[in-house]
């Protein structure tokens, strides 16, 4: 075994993990499927060599490098990271949040502070919207649970990527591959780039299986993966990460954030 990875099994990660789920690099790369927060914890504890981590975790785990060209991002709206609010956002005092999320929680705090000068109380909970709204003014729902969310009476739905885009004109980067420094770092980064290329080519052939697995219509999945989510980390995404880290620093949620270090994969 040359390397080990911690990876999420949310729908939005399917193009990035499809190759691995279908046996690519079996015997060379060990896989650990976890929640986003656990992926970061595994990487921080050196239990794995790389992880698909929330973008904020890069600033909390020293010594990481990011695989270039790959991310999970969204421009204008994301659908899978939303706030359900019983009040106008400026009147929200308590927000229940998915305990498995970190970047989305930090983004939420940044947006409340920058737009309203508010620091709502954050209550981590198991992601169940009705229960969360019993103890809070609003609930942050992420991932597959947000995609399957049904209408709840007397609540407003706010898409966090849309909220970020209104203020910045930039997409928001929720996650990316980050690697610790080790002997096979460049090799692993190239395999992750190859896996992404495979997934982006072949995921459309797996829509029926995905529909059964995630209990969503195939057309909705196709639109979500093909139009809503962005998997290429380009100049806009890099600029957005820089802005996000700077805002989090200004809000007191980070201290002296590092610039993004990319793995050199050429050659």
pLDDT tens per residue across span 33-89: 988 889 999 999 999 999 999 999 999 999 999 999 999 999 999 999 999 999 999
* 87 against 153, higher pLDDT: 87
C-alpha dihedral over 113, 95, 33, 181, to 10 degrees?
Answer: 30
For the chain, the structural domain boundaries read 3-72+173-250, 81-168
| pLDDT score of 159 | 96
Q: Which CATH superfamily is domain 81-168 in?
A: Periplasmic binding protein-like II (3.40.190.10)
| Average of per-residue pLDDT across 106-125 | 96
pLDDT exceeds cutoff 90 at 102: no
Cα–Cα distances (Å) from 202 to 22, 24, 178, 194, 213, in that order, read 11, 13, 24, 12, 17
Q: How far is CA 139 from the centre of its chain?
A: 17
Q: How confident is the model at residue 16 (pLDDT cuts 50, 70, 90)?
A: very high
Q: What is the pTM of this model?
A: 0.95
Residue 1's pLDDT is what?
72
Average confidence (pLDDT) over 202-212: 96
pLDDT for res 37: 86
What's the mean pLDDT when you consider all of the chain? Answer: 94
Contact between 262 and 66 under an 8 Å Cβ cutoff? The reply is yes
**Do the domains 3-72+173-250 and 81-168 sit in the same CATH topology, yes or no?**
yes
Tell me, which fold does domain 3-72+173-250 have in CATH? D-Maltodextrin-Binding Protein; domain 2 (3.40.190)
């Amino acid at each position: 075994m040359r390397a080990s990875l911690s990876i999420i099994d949310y729908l939005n990660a399917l193009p990035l993990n499809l190759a691995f789920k279908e046996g690519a690099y079996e015997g060379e790369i060990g896989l650990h499927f976890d929640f986003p927060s656990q992926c970061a914890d595994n990487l921080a504890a050196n239990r794995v060599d790389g992880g698909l981590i929330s973008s904020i975790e890069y600033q909390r785990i020293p010594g990481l490098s990011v695989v270039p060209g790959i991310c999970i991002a969204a421009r204008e709206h994301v659908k899978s990271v939303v706030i359900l609010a019983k009040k106008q956002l400026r009147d929200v005092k308590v927000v229940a949040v998915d305990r498995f999320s970190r970047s989305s929680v930090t983004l939420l705090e940044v947006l409340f502070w920058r737009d309203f000068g508010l620091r709502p109380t954050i209550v981590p909970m198991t992601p169940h919207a009705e229960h969360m709204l019993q103890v809070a003014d609003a609930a942050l729902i992420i991932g597959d649970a947000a995609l399957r969310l049904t209408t709840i009476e007397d609540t407003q739905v706010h898409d966090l990527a849309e909220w970020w885009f209104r203020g910045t004109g930039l997409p928001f980067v929720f996650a990316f591959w980050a690697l610790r420094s080790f002997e096979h770092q460049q090799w692993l980064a190239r395999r992750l780039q190859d896996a992404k290329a495979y997934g982006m080519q072949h995921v459309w052939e797996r829509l029926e299986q995905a529909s059964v697995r995630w209990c969503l219509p195939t057309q909705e999945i196709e639109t979500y993966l093909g139009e809503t989510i962005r998997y290429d980390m380009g100049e806009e995404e890099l600029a957005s990460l820089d802005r996000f880290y700077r805002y989090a620093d200004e809000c007191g949620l980070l201290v002296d954030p590092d610039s993004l270090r990319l793995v050199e994969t050429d050659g």
